[in-house]
Structure 1
Amino acid sequence: MIIKHSQRHIPLKRYGQNFLVNKNTIQDIVKIINPNIKQILVEIGPGLGALTKSMCQFLEKLIVIEVDPNLLLLLKKRSFYSKLIVFCQDALRFNFIDLFHKKNQLIRIFGNLPYNISTSLIILLFKQIQVIQDMNFMLQKEVAERLISIPGNKSYGRLSIISQYYCNIKILLNVIPEDFRPIPKVHSVFINLTPHTNSPYFVHDINILSYITKNAFQNRRKILRHSLKNFFSKKELLQLEINPNLRAENISIFQYCQLSNYLYKKLNTTLKTN
């Protein structure tokens, strides 16, 4: 069943607006999220409110972040608007840590993310991961595949490593283009990202891990002893039991964490001796 979208709003390309309109898909998503009245839920990009309306049936209050003021004017006319706490701003500038301190409770975040900001937004949310219970997002299928990719795959890269370092990630629903208006040229998936409670990975400094992976994958066709030559000698790579002749996509997350921690100690030793 398709929900008719408002003819009064023309979707804007600059905001990446593709509105979910399939009622069955919306119901499936609500079941997946399984909202609880006692939880703090935040929707990024409520759009025309199709998913928002269904979620509000299970909540006293729902926080929504919407950058487009024209959409907020349409939302004001909806019957469920009284349940909304509205922030008219760019989600990339929203401070979830402040919200956590106000509510003193972990936050659940969900939404049909605009494709043009999805990767940047997820990376931003990782930086505030300590206040997040979980995240449930509609994403372009290609982005989701990068999030869950494992070593040896073409889609495996920096985003795979950083995402899996922070979260357990599951694809929960495949969504066809016809479930949206306007119909996008790409397929979508609905995914869950839940922060690790007992992480299998550890680094002393996430910035070093980010920096190493950036250099490795910027030159992904090069072997490690060339792409990471500014950080590690061939001897050091062998010492860490990492084959210096492998390429970036062949190295596991655990091995990248090893490299990060080795470099962290190396840098700190250098600082102490100087």
Structure 2
Amino acid sequence: MGSHQARKRFGQNFLTDQAIIQRLVRSIAPKPDDLMVEIGPGQGALTRPLMDAVDHLHAVELDRDLIALLQRTLSERRLTIHQADALRFDFSTLSSGPRSLRVVGNLPYNISTPLMFHLIEQISEVRDMHFMLQKEMVDRLVAVPGTSDWGRLSVMIQYHCRTDFLFPVPPGAFNPPPRVDSAIVRLTPHDQLPAPVTDYTLFSELVNQVFTQRRKAVRNGLKRYLTAAEINAAGVDPGLRPDCLSLADFATLANTVAAARATEAP
């Protein structure tokens, strides 16, 4: 295969460890008729075994040089490459209906959070997502309340998905090796939301606001929304720090604010 220099501006670290690649494919367990989308196929290390397993694979890639490399070395009959920025790509255009898309990717650290939020906006089309991320980020995705990793990312992603830490990936599995450990995470959209909210925009804003003051009691972060007495009446201790509140607590608080605003509305 022709060589390609990893580009820093695209955050490229190419997966090269065959044992890790095979373990990842086994975890994904692709079926022939799966509607599989790979984000950032790179030099095709994961693309090839996925193409062997599914009838057709979609890939979203920004780097034109890599697209040329993939087109030279892979069968175009089994692969459709979309030259696009994954952060702006409309994944729903590939969907065949609700919960039809299976998304996989080795995500550059600099775009992983906004990309997950972009996919969340299209979550009704997604069956599952398997991502290779910086391990520190996977720890935050799978975190539980009362731990230092529990934060805005944990709450917002777990609102929509079950999160499973699958396995760690050492730096040596990549070329060039990154300076950090990586890990594989599976995100599976809930069939039924565990803690539904009446106003999602308000919920998102409230969670964000509270975690900007994560070392202070939640009554500080919530003072523009609720008094300490109102927080207490909602069944949440206003003296707790944000990282002690559960997803259900945040949903309850957001729904309390939404209900109060609805009664105030003319």
Normalised by the size of structure 2, how large is the TM-score?
A: 0.96
- Could you say which residue in structure 2 is the equivalent of 1:182? 176
Q: Secondary structure at the match of 2:110?
A: coil
1:191 aligns with 2:196: no
Indicate the RMSD between aligned Cα atoms, in angstroms.
Answer: 1.2
State yes or no: 1:26 paired with 2:45. no
Secondary structure of the residue aligned to 2:154 is helix
For residues 7-64 of structure 1, the C-alpha deviation after alignment (integer angstroms, 9 at most, x for no partner) is 6311111111000000111111111111111110000000000110011111221000
What runs of 5+ residues in structure 2 fail to find an aligned partner?
none
| Residue pairs, 1:53-92, within 5 angstroms | 53-92=48-87
Aligned residues with identical type, % of pairs: 38
CA distance in 2, matches of 1:80, 1:172: 30
1:238 aligns with 2:232: yes
**Other-structure match for 2:152:** 158
Provide the C-alpha distance between the structure 1 equivalents of 2:19 and 2:164, rounded to a whole number of angstroms.
Answer: 20
Give the AA of the match of 2:35. Answer: I
> Is 1:226 the counterpart of 2:187 in the alignment?
no
Deviation sequence 1:200-256 (CA, Å, 0-9, x none)? 211112111111111101011221112211100111011012111111111111000
In structure 2, the residue matched to 1:137 is 131
User: Structure 1: which amino acid aligns with 2:203?
Assistant: L
Structure 2 counterparts to residues 246-265 of structure 1, below 5 A: 246-265=240-259
How many aligned positions are there? 265
Question: 1:41, 1:107 within 8 Å by CA — same for their partners in 2?
Answer: yes
Residues 100-158 of structure 1 deviation map (CA, whole Å, 9 limit, x = unaligned): 2xx33610000111111011101111111000000001010011011111111111111
Q: Structure 2 CA distance, aligned partners of 1:248 and 1:104?
A: 37
Structure 1 residue aligned with 2:208: 214
Q: Which 4+ stretches in 1 moved above 2 angstroms?
A: 79-82
**Distance (whole Å) between structure 2 residues aligned to residue 104 and residue 253 of structure 1:** 29
For the residues of structure 2 that align with 1:168 and 1:229, how far apart are their CA atoms? 31
Quick one: distance in 2 between partners of 1:48 and 1:226?
49
